[in-house]
Amino acid sequence: MMCATPIDPDEAEGLKVKNVSTRVQLDELEAVSVNRGILRLARKKSIDLLTDTHLKKLHERLFGTVWSWAGQYRQTEKNIGIDPVHISVQVRQLLDNS
């Protein structure tokens, strides 16, 4: 059975498609966007995936049709993850360690 959990108004901030009102609709919309992005990525010849710039571009390609903030580090605190002010440093450290 599909769950019709409404999207929290704070969570919907930045959502480009305004008629999406449930979590299921959002998940489906994001899945379509990610699939399109993966198809585009598969057509690329050679890419250096492990750079901050590329990761941001990839995120924008995967979610840019859904979210206005796609390709940017989040600016708000969430109940999981790290403080937003530390994201860019942590991503750089992760990439340096790979």
> What's the pLDDT score for residue 46?
66
Whether this prediction's pTM lies above 0.85 is answered by no
Domains held by the chain: number? 1
Q: Residue 5: inside a domain, yes or no? A: no
> Taking 50 as the threshold, does the pLDDT of residue 98 lie above it?
yes
Residue 86 has pLDDT above 80, yes or no: yes
Q: Which helix (H) or strand (E) holds 89?
A: helix 87-96
pLDDT reported for residue 30: 94
Arithmetic mean of pLDDT, 38-67? 85
Chain-centre distance for alpha carbon 20: 17
Q: Write out the residue range of the structural domain in which residue 34 sits.
A: 23-96
Q: For position 86, which CATH number holds?
A: 1.10.3290.10
